[in-house]
Amino acid sequence: MTIPATPRQAALDTLLELVTSRLEAALDLTATAAREEGLAELARLCADLQVLTAAAILVRER
């Protein structure tokens, strides 16, 4: 049985979805630029953050 979301929870979910989407886009652009500029450590950091963001999305969707 699914419990209906309150308006507040629905708003928070929407906000989290928007923030996550923008974070993913920013990390993707930063990682691409870092690779192009030869900044391997920054590219690795972005890749790590992309994995953590994807994991957070999966946890949120459960």
| pLDDT recorded at residue 37 | 94
| Distance (Å, whole) CA 11 – CA 59 | 18
Closest CA to 57 of 26, 25, 16: 16
Query: Would you give per-residue pLDDT tens digits along the chain (62 residues)?
Result: 456 678 888 888 888 889 988 998 999 999 999 999 999 999 999 999 999 988 888 887 77
